[in-house]
Amino acid sequence: MPGRIRNRQLATKIVEADEAARLIPAGANVGMSGFTGAGYPKEVPGALAKRLAEANAQGDPMKVSLWTGASTAPELDGALAEADGIELRLPYQSDPVSREKINSGRMDYIDIHLSHVAQRVWQGFLGPLDVAVIEISGITEDGKLIPSSSVGNNKTWIEQADRVILEVNAWQSEQLEGMHDIYYGTTLPPYRRPIPLTDPRDRIGVPYLECPPEKIAAVVETEAPDRNTAFKEPDGISRAIAGHVLDFLTSEMRCGRIPESLLPLQSGVGNVANAVLAGLREGPFSGLTAYTEVIQDGMLDLIDSGTLRMASATAFSLSPSAVDRFNKHADEYRSRILLRPQEISNHPEVVRRLGCLAMNGIVEADIYGNINSTHMMGSRIQNGIGGSGDFARNAYTSIFVTPSTAKDGAISTIVPMVSHVDHTEHDVDVIVTEQGAADLRGLAPRQRAKQIIERCAHPDFRPALRDYYERSLAASYGGHTPHLLDESLSWHRKYLQEGTMRV
């Protein structure tokens, strides 16, 4: 790994992953790097999982609590969950094995706004952080740490942990050096000052993570790639949703509410979000910027086409082909991409000041505009709220997107009452499905219900929604947000009992 560990003192701390994993005690709180499959440690988690599995097999159970930036990959979340080695997980995950353990009650999970994590740890609610395991792309001569393809909570983990294990990954482009902006100015009240960021392009920190050398207990070398799943080609439904979002943005621009360069974009992860980004290339927009969490393929395409001037995020989430493209041209992308700690990329103060346009996927919405982003049938968690709440509440305009049905049409994603609430009606401006867009701004609850049913619901479910709404108007206890409480969750109950919400 020539040139990656340029500091002599830290080069003496190189060990194998097994040895580093032995530094993590049973019951430890472990903060690992990683955000949406980028920049997570690749070697130590596997070695730790082996140790945990052996201890569990010998009847001497051993678990750790795992904190990250967001989701990681099968080699980290999957391996540790498979070994039954995670006591508590936070703040966001999307791993199928972890999901199964959480939903069967064998793993605790705290689903938390991504911008809140650092503060919660500083406040001490989660206990002390024993060990941090952080992937970096290199170490400078004077011991500064060059971050890799995500920043996430790494600054906080390094500051808070008793000891730090570094994984230096030579697979990551050397050209990442200089692409990061690590802000060391956040603090607890009453000492807080404004975050001096008024444009997504602003640099307010330094390009390196800092860590006192005596805290660094081990350095592990690796050359393993990030997870990198490919995106699906946008299907008809994603393209229709993207079309409605673009029509909405175009009309906002024509009304003079937003400029031709739009406002800084935030886009959630997934295929629909990627299709919306792809569609922006065809729209009448230019000189766009992004202030978001994740840079996915669609954003890179927008940079390549010259439509997007600059993107600020905390992580990449690229398909294998986009990673190749990025790694080949990282030098050119450096002037157009900035990666920041998630405390800053998702900071409510900054999101509000910049006036972001937020676009996020959902599980279901109800006829009054409340949103469930996380729980299937009210109880089974899918991923987590992630950063959607950080942006939705503080954005200039908050758009939520979803196909109007799920599970081959058996489920309506527009329901009388959501079975779990992540975003209240107060944080939801626009709901878009392949059927159309409901602009809820300035509307009272009964007006919203009509818009959502007529514009967003699938035609097969519209008559039943109208019927529910009409009967609620006649028989509800209150007329402001009419509901029939005996019936409001009956659509979910029907699905659980009969496998369909259809009448």
Nearest partner of 30 among 73, 79, 65, judged by Cα? 65
Main-chain phi, psi angles of 405, to 5 degrees: -135, 160
The β-bridge partners of 291 are 312
- Residue 394, marked binder: no
Query: 200 and 251 in contact (C-beta within 8 Å)?
Result: no
Query: 328 and 302 in contact (C-beta within 8 Å)?
Result: no
Handedness of CA 144, 147, 153, 154 (dihedral sign): negative
Residue 138 or 268 having the CB closest to ligand 0RQ: 268
**Cβ 383 to ligand 0RQ, closest distance in Å?**
4
Residue 294 or 310 having the CB closest to ligand 0RQ: 294
**Cβ 242 to ligand 0RQ, closest distance in Å?**
13
**Cβ 489 to ligand 0RQ, closest distance in Å?**
13
Handedness of CA 248, 252, 258, 259 (dihedral sign): positive
Cα distances from 363 to residues 232, 243, 326, 382, in angstroms, run 19, 20, 32, 9
Binding residues for ligand 0RQ (CB under 6 A): 36, 70, 92, 114, 268-270, 272, 293-294, 360-364, 373, 376, 382-383, 385-388, 406-407, 411, 413
* Cα–Cα distance for residue pair 361/374, rounded to 1 Å: 10
- Residue 85, marked binder: no
**Cβ 91 to ligand 0RQ, closest distance in Å?**
9
- Residue 387, marked binder: yes
Residue 294 or 303 having the CB closest to ligand 0RQ: 294
Q: Look at the block and give the residue holding tokens 């997934």.
A: 270
**Cβ 382 to ligand 0RQ, closest distance in Å?**
5
Residue 400 or 469 having the CB closest to ligand 0RQ: 400
Residue nearest to ligand 0RQ (CB): 386
Q: Quote the tokens at residue 85.
A: 């080695």
Which candidate in 135, 159, 252, 293 is catalytic? 293
Annotation says 293 is catalytic:
yes
- Residue 268, marked binder: yes
- Residue 272, marked binder: yes
Residue 172 or 372 having the CB closest to ligand 0RQ: 372
- Residue 383, marked binder: yes
Q: What angle do CA 247, 252, 258 make, to 5 degrees?
A: 130
- Exposed (0-12), middle (13-18) or buried (19+): which is 426, by Cβ within 10 Å? exposed
Q: Quote the tokens at residue 453.
A: 């049913």
Binding residues: 268-272, 383, 387, 407
User: Which segments are annotated as binding site for CoA?
Assistant: 268-272, 383, 387, 407
Active-site amino acid positions:
293
